[in-house]
Amino acid sequence: MNILVCITHVPDTTSRIAFSDNNTKFDKTGVQFIIGPYDDYALARAVELKEASGGKVTVLNVGEVETEPTIRKALAIGADEAIRVNAFPSDSYFVAKQIAEVAKQGNYDLILMGRESIDFNGGMVHGMVAEMLGMQSFSPVMSLEIEGDTAKISREIEGGKEKLEVKLPFVAGCQEPIAEWKIPNMRGIMSARTKPLNVVEPSDNSTMTAVAQYELPAPKGAVKMIDANNVEELVSLLKNEAKVI
Amino acid sequence: MSVLVFIELEDGKIKKSSREAIAYGAAIGEVTALALGSASNDELASAGENGATRVLHVADERLNAGLIQPFAEVISSVFASSGASILVTAKSSLADAVVGRVAVKSGASLASNVSALPDTSNGFVVKQSIYTGKATANMSLTSDKKILAIKKNAIELKTGGATASVEATSVSLDDAWFGAKIISSEKAEGDVLLPEADIVVSGGRGLKGPENWGMIEDLAKTLGAATGCSKPVSDMDWRPHHEHVGQTGVKVSPTLYIAVGISGAIQHLAGVNSSKYIVVINKDADAPFFKAADYGIVGDAFEVLPKLNEALKKALA
């Protein structure tokens, strides 16, 4: 089983989001970057599949040199080798194009990634990659079992879930509970230092979108506290002030 | 300008979020809607209430299940033949999986989580909600063809339009698109869909166990709300995963979110910060959720909820 796992390098969920340069650039000051939480699930499942039945896990990131610590973490978790496409991930089309180009060189049975990144939340890249490669794609995938050239997957639909049987290869956008996140151990961290991390240049620079400017929402007003013995007041506020019931 | 709006059907009914997408499309041009799978003519004609002029209906039963590849193929094919330059859809689990494929097939620019009408004073710029609701990007779509996936509950649902004309449309379906076989599906019956809901009542560990969820369900019933839960609650299997609200679960944007016995971890807040109003009920006065709330009650859920339910019943009677 030859698995490609695409990871994003994104601000930790707890980060304060701010922008610089007249709100045209993300302000990285004090921000801790992590493997995208959904990508982390995909990676964990890929490592489990490899441990169960052999094969290789290659982790791929489209990003500048600053993402290498995040990539090394993925190697510490259990990926065997890594590829970094040396470019700023300008938009989803650009990223998908780079992933598709790498995938064409690799003969992968499975291409896994998170259902969406937690910075732009677009959730578009898995479908784009699959279309570029002429493969099937599924998202959000909550379980993934492989038997020979067939996979049984479950995907979330609104208000429920669905089990599907599909042939390899395909692209999946993953989410919990496909696997538990793996925390790298000391042996993993040590071995990650010497695992191959190949840097390749982007194949095509075209994009389909551009961010003109970022905006932050207006700050929230103070909370109004209501006495627990006076729930009628809450009802009245919801009805007459918020006008939501 | 001609706009194609892909509408999702749920048991043959147009989803509320798809009606919002029609209203969005109608604000920028003349809307042709596209529906796939079985539905009655009357139901489809009602797309006119929200602003659609006509509805193209590909009624093939093989499209009743929301399979990604066939949907992407059919939508792309109709988008190309319709002459529309803009395709609008609601953002949903299905649309997320489909629109990326359609964008590549159509050579279109794609923006998701769109929360406002486009600004066309200088190009074509839409507001995309990013960082899980913590910021907005003004996204410029540079290709001639454009696809917009609209954030749920972000667009005012216009009603009162005329009836739309419904045209049966045939697209020849290739068996090769149906490579994925559905083995089984589980679905909550008759409930309000969580991602679509105007009001959401969510419970956390403070409820102490799944046997106490009746209180959450009663309150939800009174309000016509959907029920949700925190991550620990779904991790412990007290509630199914599709009710988990948060960073790695469902992101909701209702007009009213009521959180009971949820402390308000940042991962949970990431799933609810687009709510218009937030009510927090928690016995711990220091619960961080109060800082993100509009209204708060410090109290025991087991005492507050029954009283609140009675008071709401009276007020709504």
B185/A contact by beta carbon, under 8 A = yes
Give the residue from A79, A55, A106 showing the smallest Cα distance to A7. Answer: A79
Rg, C-alpha atoms of chain B: 21
Domain B194-316 in CATH 3.40.50.1220? The answer is: yes
A243 in a domain, yes or no? no
A237 close to A226: Cβ distance less than 8 angstroms: yes
Is there a contact between B297 and A207 if contact means CB atoms under 8 Å apart?
Answer: no
Residue B189 above 80 pLDDT?
Answer: no
In this predicted structure, what is the pLDDT of residue A23? 95
Give the residue from B50, B1, B56, B7 showing the smallest Cα distance to B29. Answer: B1
Residues of A in contact with B103 (CB under 8 A): 93, 124, 127-128, 208
B243 CA: distance to closest CA in chain A (Å):
8
Rounded to the nearest integer, the mean pLDDT of chain B is 94
Rg, C-alpha atoms of chain A: 21
B184/A contact by beta carbon, under 8 A = yes
Confidence of residue B160 (pLDDT cuts 50, 70, 90): confident
The residues, any chain, with a CB within 8 Å of residue A169's CB and separated by 6 or more, are A108, A109, A110, A111, A135
Is there a contact between A158 and B188 if contact means CB atoms under 8 Å apart?
Answer: no
Q: Which amino acid makes up residue A24? A: T
Domains B2-178 and B194-316 belong to one CATH topology? yes
Task: Give the mean pLDDT of B265-291.
Answer: 95
Q: Which residue carries 């917009």 as its tokens?
A: B148
The B residues from 260 to 279 touching A (CB cutoff 8 Å) are: 266-267, 270, 276-277, 279
Residue B11 above 90 pLDDT?
Answer: no
Residue B282 above 70 pLDDT?
Answer: yes
A191 in a domain, yes or no? yes
Number of domains, chain A: 1
Residue from A157, A171, A178, A180 to probe the interface with B (highest B Cβ count within 10 Å): A157
What CA–CA distance (Å, rounded) separates A63 from B307?
54
A242 in a domain, yes or no? no
A153 in a domain, yes or no? yes
User: What is this model's ipTM?
Assistant: 0.93
Domain that holds residue A168: 2-218
A68 close to A197: Cβ distance less than 8 angstroms: yes
B167 CA: distance to closest CA in chain A (Å):
28
A177 in a domain, yes or no? yes
Residues of B in contact with A25 (CB under 8 A): none
B237 CA: distance to closest CA in chain A (Å):
11
Residue B75 above 70 pLDDT?
Answer: yes
CA atoms within 13 A on the CB side of A236: 6
B88 close to B24: Cβ distance less than 8 angstroms: yes
Task: Give the mean pLDDT of B300-313.
Answer: 96
In this predicted structure, what is the pLDDT of residue B118? 96
In this predicted structure, what is the pLDDT of residue B190? 58
Tens of pLDDT, residues A64-106: 999 999 999 999 999 999 999 999 999 999 999 999 999 999 9
Degrees (nearest 5) of the Cα angle A129, A201, A10?
60
What CA–CA distance (Å, rounded) separates B131 from A120?
6
Residue of A nearest to B194 (CA): A159
Is there a contact between A158 and B291 if contact means CB atoms under 8 Å apart?
Answer: no
Residue of B nearest to A136 (CA): B69
A56 CA: distance to closest CA in chain B (Å):
25
Q: Which two tokens stand for residue A48?
A: 């489990």
In this predicted structure, what is the pLDDT of residue A179? 93
Q: Which two tokens stand for residue B226?
A: 């959907």
B11/A contact by beta carbon, under 8 A = no
- Of the candidates B100, B191, B256, which has its C-beta nearest A124's C-beta? B100
User: What CATH number is attached to the domain comprising A104?
Assistant: 3.40.50.620
A205 in a domain, yes or no? yes
- Domain boundaries defined on chain B: 2-178, 194-316
What CA–CA distance (Å, rounded) separates B261 from B237?
17
Sheet architecture: strand order including B256-260: A224-226, B295-298, B277-282, B256-260, B199-203, B226-229
| Bridge pairing between strands B52-58 and B125-130 | unpaired
What CA–CA distance (Å, rounded) separates A231 from B312?
9
- Of the candidates A163, A177, A210, which has its C-beta nearest B142's C-beta? A210
Confidence of residue B156 (pLDDT cuts 50, 70, 90): confident
B297 close to B281: Cβ distance less than 8 angstroms: yes
Is there a contact between A137 and B68 if contact means CB atoms under 8 Å apart?
Answer: yes
What CA–CA distance (Å, rounded) separates A162 from B180?
11
B214 close to B239: Cβ distance less than 8 angstroms: no
Residues of A in contact with B195 (CB under 8 A): 158
pLDDT < 70 stretches in chain A = none
DSSP summary character for residue A165: E
Q: Which two tokens stand for residue A34?
A: 């992590």
DSSP codes of every residue in chain B: -EEEEEE-EETTEE-HHHHHHHHHHHHHSEEEEEEES---HHHHHGGGGGTEEEEEEE--GGGSS--HHHHHHHHHHHHHHH--SEEEEE--HHHHHHHHHHHHHHT-EEEEEE-S--B-TTS-EEEEEEGGGTEEEEEEE-SSSEEEEEPTT-S-------PPEEEE---PPPGGGG-PEEEEEEE--SSPPGGG-SEEEEE-GGG-SGGGTHHHHHHHHHHT-EEEE-HHHHHTTSS-GGGBBSTTSB----SEEEEES----HHHHHHHTT-SEEEEEES-TT-GGGGG-SEEEES-HHHHHHHHHHHHHHHH-
What CA–CA distance (Å, rounded) separates A125 from B282?
39
A81 CA: distance to closest CA in chain B (Å):
27
Residue from A118, A128, A167, A245 to probe the interface with B (highest B Cβ count within 10 Å): A245
Could you tell me the CA-to-CA distances from A194 to A40, A76, A189 in Å, in that order?
21, 10, 10
Confidence of residue B212 (pLDDT cuts 50, 70, 90): very high
A20 CA: distance to closest CA in chain B (Å):
13
Is there a contact between A118 and B69 if contact means CB atoms under 8 Å apart?
Answer: no
Residues of B in contact with A162 (CB under 8 A): 65, 182, 184-186
Give pTM, 2 decimals.
0.92
What CA–CA distance (Å, rounded) separates A178 from A112?
11
Residues of A in contact with B125 (CB under 8 A): 212
CB pairs under 8 A between A and B: 274
- Of the candidates B97, B134, B298, which has its C-beta nearest A139's C-beta? B97
A100 in a domain, yes or no? yes
Q: Where are the alpha helices (DSSP H) in chain A?
A: 37-53, 68-77, 92-104, 125-133, 186-192, 231-236
Degrees (nearest 5) of the Cα angle B99, B104, B108?
80
Backbone angles phi, psi at B311, to 5 degrees: -65, -40
A199 in a domain, yes or no? yes
Is there a contact between B180 and A136 if contact means CB atoms under 8 Å apart?
Answer: yes
DSSP codes of every residue in B156-203: -------PPEEEE---PPPGGGG-PEEEEEEE--SSPPGGG-SEEEEE
A93 CA: distance to closest CA in chain B (Å):
8
Q: What is the CATH number of domain B2-178?
A: 3.40.50.620
Residue of A nearest to B131 (CA): A119
